[in-house]
Amino acid sequence: MPKGYWVSVYRTISDPEKLAAYDKLAGPAVQAGGGRLLAAASSRVVAHEDGTVERTILIEFDSFEQAVAARESAAYQEALAALSDGVERDFRIVEGVD
């Protein structure tokens, strides 16, 4: 079964306090959903073309379905509410290949 990945690239961070509140809630929510952090905010990034190096997060799940379910969980929804309009980001759930 292919793994699932959350890929989140932050274009701008307009409210660091909202981001900090999100981080506090999102970490435990992701872990509870079975996610494993592969690349964190402190990870080095080299951007090409129209890429951004602001903040890139990569999280791995055992399956695509697990990744989708974690995003829809009540705990992660609470984290998103805390984040609100504090950032502009591109968030995707991607199915891996076997």
| pTM, two decimal places | 0.92
Domains and CATH numbers, the chain: 4-95 (3.30.70.100)
Number of neighbouring beta carbons within 10 Å of residue 79: 19
Q: Say what the pLDDT of residue 57 is.
A: 95
- The per-residue pLDDT for 54 is 85
Q: Which pLDDT tens digit goes with each residue over 46-96? A: 889 888 888 999 999 999 999 999 999 999 999 999 999 999 999 999 999
Buried b or exposed e, range 18-47, using 16+ CB within 10 angstroms? bbebbeebbeebbeebbbeeeeeeeeeeee
